[in-house]
Each structure stands twice: as C-alpha cells, then as structure tokens.
Structure 1
Amino acid sequence: MTQLDERDTTDSTADAIAAASRGSAAYRANPYPVYACLRESAPVCRLSPPHGVETYLITRYDDAKVALTDPRISKDMYAAMDAYHTIFGDSSIALDDNMLFSDPPKHTRLRRIVNRAFSPRRIESLGPRIQQITDELLDRCATDAPIDLLSSFAFPLPLIVICELIGIPEAERAEAQKWCTTVARTGFSKKDKEKLAEAEGALRDYFADLILRKRKNASDDLLSDLIRTQDEQGAMTDGELLSTLWVLLFAGHKTTAYLIGNAVFNLLTHRDQLREVLEDPELLPNAIEEVIRFEGSVENATFRHALEDIDIRGTLIPKGSLVQIAVASANRDPERFACPDTFDVKREGLQSAHLGFGSGAHYCLGAPLARMEMRTALTTLFQRFPKIELDFPASEAEWLKVPFPAFRGLERLPVALVP
C-alpha cells in the first residue's frame, strides 16, 4: 500500500467513525458501507456519540457473538450509574429494573419467572387469534388507494397481540403506544429529556394502576399469572413486575412491527426472491430468517458496559466504558456469511447463525412469538395481495431517524394492495 493509499484508508475510517458517532442522515439511510469499512479497518472503535459517554462499537461477527455472552461486559446499567444518568436521566430507573438490564443471578431469577408465564404452550395457543387479527386488519385496508402498511397493518398486529397477552384493555392501548413511541424517539437535549421523563412517568403510573386492578380482578393473561407468582420465594418485587410489563410491551411490538415492514420492503425490492417464496411457501420461514439477518429490526444490541479493562483485537476498552454491539454489521460480516450483501431466501443455516435475536442468556424471549406473527402476517398478506406494489421509489425509502440506532426500520411503507 502506498503512502497515499494509507492516508485514503485513514480518512475513510475516520469518516466512518464520525458517521457512526453522529448517526448522520446518510448513515441512517444506509449504514452498511460504514459497517463494512469499520469491520475492515477498525473492528473495535471508540465513538463520540451525542449522549457524551465514551462508547466502543464492535462490528465483526466473531467479536459480537463473544461480547453478547462475555461476563465482563455487563447489562446492569445500575452498576454504571454515571453513564446511565447521563444518557437516560433519573426517570428511566423505574422502568429498567427488569431482566433486559440485569446480570445473573438476578437475570436468571427474573427470566425463569417470565419464562413460565411466557411458555411455548401459551405462545402456540395464540396462533388462531393472530390469524384472526391479521385477517381483520387486512379486511380494513383500502385497495382503491395507496396505504401506509406500517400504520395500517405492521404496527397494529403485534401491538394487539402483546397487549392481549399482557392483559392491557383495548381502550388503553393507543395511549400506551404513544408513550412508548416518545421513549423510543427522544434525543439527548434538556427539552428531549423532559419529554422522556413525562412519558416514562405516565407509563410508570399506568402500569402501577394496571397491576392494582389485576390484583383485584385477575384473568387469564400474563400479568395475572405474574401476580400469582408473587407469593413464591424469589418472586418479582412490585418494581420488577412493573418494569417487566414495560419491556414486554415495548420490545413485544416495535421490533416485530419493523421486522414485518422490513420483510415486505425487501421482498418487494427483490421480486425474484418473492417469486421463489410465492411458488414454494415452505421457503417462507427461511426467508424470514434471511430478513432478520439482512435487514433485521435490531441494528444495535441494548447498551452494555465494561466491568474491567478488556482487550479486543488489540483495542483496549477501558473499565466503565459503554459497549455497543452492531448486530446489523455482524450479520453482514463476509467472514461468517458468503455474499452477505445479497438477499437470498434460500441461504442455509440461518436460524442458528444470525444474531438478530441476540445470543446466550439474553437471547430474545419473544423470538418464537415474533416468528409466528411474521409467518402469519406475510403468508396472509401475499396470499390475499400477490401483486402488492411499493407506492414510492425504493431509493427514496425513509429509514428511522432516532438518537441512537437501536432499531432499523422504515418511517412509512406506502403500498398499493393489488388483489
């Protein structure tokens, strides 16, 4: 490599790090070239994000998979209180006392309790109801004019499912979703944090009231089951129960909604792949796994922090630093996936390979439900509307503009539902 080539590489790497730090518009529209550059020249790099806390980004598959299970990299943000307060503020604490933001043994205890209420049998029993909701939503979708498939279908489906599963009354769901959206989209300015505190306070009060009502009138739902376990040794505290409801509601609809949107968008922009699925419906489960790998709804895993100095590929991550694991980058690592930037519904060995649902003890509890919802949604949508078309140029897709790229999804998905 010549001296000029070296300087060009250095400049490109610096630009990539700056783009990942700032979350620039071009980066949000298409982060994959940035990740490719970082995997090659700075697979573990220090970011300067707008929240102001020193953060290290991990972009290669092998490093990401290890980091997701490394006990030296903690999910317990309470153990990094200075960083926690800087990013989220005091108002978030009551909503983050759950299994997502904890380490063993607390994580093990909380997950065991939720696993019992969130059992495979209960998830499997939801199949007919998910189909009914899917049919009803599509029945209401207009076919004589373009619609936004996200707001009309992709979001309502998992929201209704998770609310019914938890036991949130229909009349209260729209308000709860509004607060969730505020939390997901809030930035780091003083004004943003005031909005965040207001939404989180409303959610905290709502869930506290819902728990009280369920204690008086239990029913056949997940919340009632969790309340019944509170007499057992090692049961959830009231604070843990409230926070668990929050994480189930938030994660239980947004990630799946964006996944449905990403799936439809990528199948419609890869018509040859859609044709394969339509001709052989048994390919759909694998196509879903390829969507999760190729354009999953979780771009970066939730924050972690280093419990000690950690060396990865010669880069020192100092104790106390935040660690950000770029799942979207890992899932396009050419050292793990051949032709990673090619969307291939026949790609083999996906479910056990991609990191779209995480890895290890924090593997997504809701993965089976998300897969069921996606299978039902996509099967029904394409059976009823096999000629569905995008109502905008794919190059003009609007991807989420969020303060840090936790989610990867579209702002809108205008389509024409052609029967």
Structure 2
Amino acid sequence: MTKKRILTGLVTCGAFGVIAIAAQAGFGGGAGADGVPLVTLPLASASSTKTAVSAVSAVSAVQAQPASLTIAGDGYVYDWTALQAAIAADSEVPSGHFIVGNVASPDYLFSYEKGSFGIDRITPLASASKWFAGTLAMRMKQAGIVTLDDPMRPPLAFWTTSGTKKDVKLKHTLSMTSGFNASPLVGGCQLLPAQTLYACAKSIHDLRYDSLRPGNAPGAQYSYGPHGLQVAAAYLEAKDTSIEPSATPARQRNIHDLFRQHVTVPLGMTNTTWYDPAGSAPTNPWIAGGAFSTPRDYAKLLRAMLQGSFITDMTGFTQQRTAGLPRVFVPASAANWEYALGSFVECDTPSACASSKINSSPGAYGWTGWIDRQTGYYALIATEITTGGDRKGVELEQVMQDLIETAIATRTAAP
C-alpha cells in the first residue's frame, strides 16, 4: 500500500474572536481564498477537560505483555516495539492514549498510555466529532427513517422551494458539498447552545447562500466547515417523528435522544455526549466540533465501523464524495484527501482516493481516529494538545500507519 504523504503545516490563529471561531468547527486549518491557513478550537478551554472517576482498567491481556512481544486475542504475536518507541519519542505529544485493534481480537492489539492520560478520561474531540454526525445519519438510514437523497423540505418547513438551495439533500450536508460553507467566516449560530437546532438551521439557510459565491449549488463545490453538519442534525431531529414513550408529556426525541438510541447505547459508549457532560444537554449542540468522549468509548465506535455490521452500507458511508470538485476551503493537512460522510478519505493524491480504504476524522486537539479496511485494523490517537494539535495529530497518524502496517505484516502465529 502506498502510504507516503507530504504534510502541509498549519498556522494556529488564536485571536479570531467569536465570528472567526465559528469559521471552523474544531479541526485543522484550511487554505481559503486568500491562502491563509485557519484553525479554530472550541470556546471551552482545554483546562475544562474532565477526568472520569479513576478505576483500574482491565483493558486487555495485551497491556500486560512487553511491547516487543504482544500475544493478541486473534492468535498472533505482534511486535509493537517500533510503534511504542516512536510515540514515546514524540516530544510534541506529551501525553495521550494510543490504541490499535482489529475485529478478530476481542482485546486491543496495542494499548499504550503516555504520560497521564487514562483510557476513561473524558476529552473534548473538536472536529473528531464529525464522524458522529455521519454515523447517526447512516444508522437512521438503516432504520428506514431517512435516505441520503432526502431533500430538506418538508421536515425543515422553512426551506426554500426555489433557486439552487432547494436541491440540497442530506448527503450534501454531511459531505461538505452543501454550499453552506462557501464563506467560513459567516454564521456562528452553532456556538449558541440556547437556540434550537431548527432555529440555527434556519439562520444558516437564510444567509443569502446563493449570492455568497457563484456556482455553489449543492454537489458543485467542496468547502469544509461546520454549517452543513448543523443543518444535517436539524434535519435528522425534525425527520424523526416518533414520540418518546417515557416522557411526560410525550415529546418528539431530540438529537441527543437519537444519538443515544442509534449510536451510544448499542455500542455501550457510556461517556460520549454531544456536549460537555459536566453541564446540561444544549438544545443546539455544536455538531461539527462540540462532542466529548473517552479513548475506550471512541475505540468501540472505530471497531464497530471496521466490523461492518453496525453500519451495513460501509461503501456508501466511506466513499469519496468530493472528487473532481473545486476546493473552495479545505484544511491544509488534508489538502490531498477527499471527503466522505463525516470523515476524510486518506490518499496521497486526490485521484488515489477512489481506491483508498482509509477514513479518518482528526480534531484540533490532536485526537485522531481512523479505520483501515484494507490492512484490517482501527487505531486511535487520544490526546489533548492545546497548541498545534491539529497538525500534530495528522502528522503522528502518518508515522503510526507505516509502523502498524509493518507490525501486522510481520506478525507470527502464536505458539
């Protein structure tokens, strides 16, 4: 597999103010029309990270083995010496939790805590949140509630019936091709938690979308940003017409209820929310960058995606949807990659993305999870780097990928 990528550095701009912070939900910088890389972190300070009640984690027998000789539950012996040494030597990542797993083994193939970063530490994900939106949409699709070709109206009753905007579909909002990110410095309602998702989606809808940039019809341009995902979540919430039976009075379920029903409860993700769990659930959560999770929880999602039955249409979920489109605003460290539904399709050049089997969702604090369906593993960099994490997460991921592939290729049958 060709896995050599040239990484483009990012510039961290920390003093944009609220409007500029609304430009990018969490991950990365991007070269906009003026070529200036941008990066945005969530409003909450990284110091607000909560650490769950400490407990001795019975992660797996893997952790009890020397890094040089790991006997995994899939019946193979792996040598992770080079991988652990590379992580330990990286001074830009002072602490983190690093996981490698596959479907065959019930335990992790590799689990390493660097510094003080427990497997149950609750951490802000920034743009690693985006994979949640795509996952929820695909699970609701499996349940027969939505299709990827659903138009926004009638569930979003305010949606226009004229102009190119009328043609926006759910697949466009999830793939950065909706047209709503044409100007990333407009529309910050995703940072107003007391609003409703419906009201925020209407605010984004009313931004005179058709006049912002010529040619931004749905599916015509690739522009990375938070607005499409906020609209997608509002649509999913409005589309679900079931009533929560235990509520008094009975009410339609909100996005948090849907996320629990379709994603976190089935996977046993007990410490994952679309908001800081130290507070209350907002009516307008920041879909593209406001989730929190733990290394243990996020690894459950990655394993389920790799396994292929939790989301049955993995081709539709992971395939590129931005090939050949003009790149209006794209994160610098993903300049050659294409976009799927809430995740990047990784490749050396855009043309190579057609056959790539690697999807990832990096965040601004360095948190980066990915699945490699060709080599057959999932991996996670769980960390919280306040400065430069967007660049560092992707950079370390590339180093780890080569070392993981080597360890898998040279594994031997357990005696």
So what's the TM-score if we normalise by structure 1?
0.29
Greater helix proportion: 1
Greater strand proportion: 2
Over alpha carbons, which structure has the higher Rg?
A: 1
So what's the TM-score if we normalise by structure 2?
0.29
